[in-house]
Amino acid sequence: QVQLVESGGGLAQAGGSRRLSCAASGSIFRINAMGWYRQAPGKQRELVAQITGAGSTNYADSVKGRFIISRDNAKNTMYLQLNSLKPEDTAVYYCNGNIASSRYLASRDYWGQGTQVTVSS
C-alpha cells in the first residue's frame, strides 16, 4: 500500500518560516499531481498549493508570495516552504497525492495523517 507521511509541523512565530515535507512510500508506480491542504478549527478544508507531475504550480490567494511548493521526484517527496507566517495560517496541514500503485491500476488520491502548524502573534 501507499503511505504519505508529513513532517515539519510545530510552533512558529508570526513572521517566521517553516518547511513541511511529505514523503510517499510503499508500492508506487507513478505520482501525478500533489497538493497541500489545510483545515483550521471550525472551517472547511481548503487547498493551499498544488503541483503537477510536470512541475506546474498553483496557490491559494491567501498564501501567494509567501509559500512555495516543490517536489523531488527522485525521492518521492513534496515540500511546502512557509514564509512570513501569520496567525491565520494556523491549521492542520495535509498532504495529498494522486498515485498509481502499479501500471495495471488506475491512480487514486492518498492522504497523509496531517501535521499541526501553530503560529503565535
Closest CA to 77 of 97, 91, 48: 97
The pLDDT value given to residue 38: 98
Q: What is the mean pLDDT of the chain?
A: 97
48-59 mean pLDDT: 96
Mean pLDDT calculated for residue range 89-118: 97
> For residues 45 and 94, is the Cβ–Cβ distance under 8 A?
yes
CB 67 within 8 A of CB 48: yes
Q: Which residues contact 112 (CB under 8 A, 6 or more apart)?
A: 4, 5, 6, 22, 94, 95, 96
The pLDDT value recorded for residue 53 is 92
Confidence band of 37 (pLDDT split at 50, 70, 90): very high
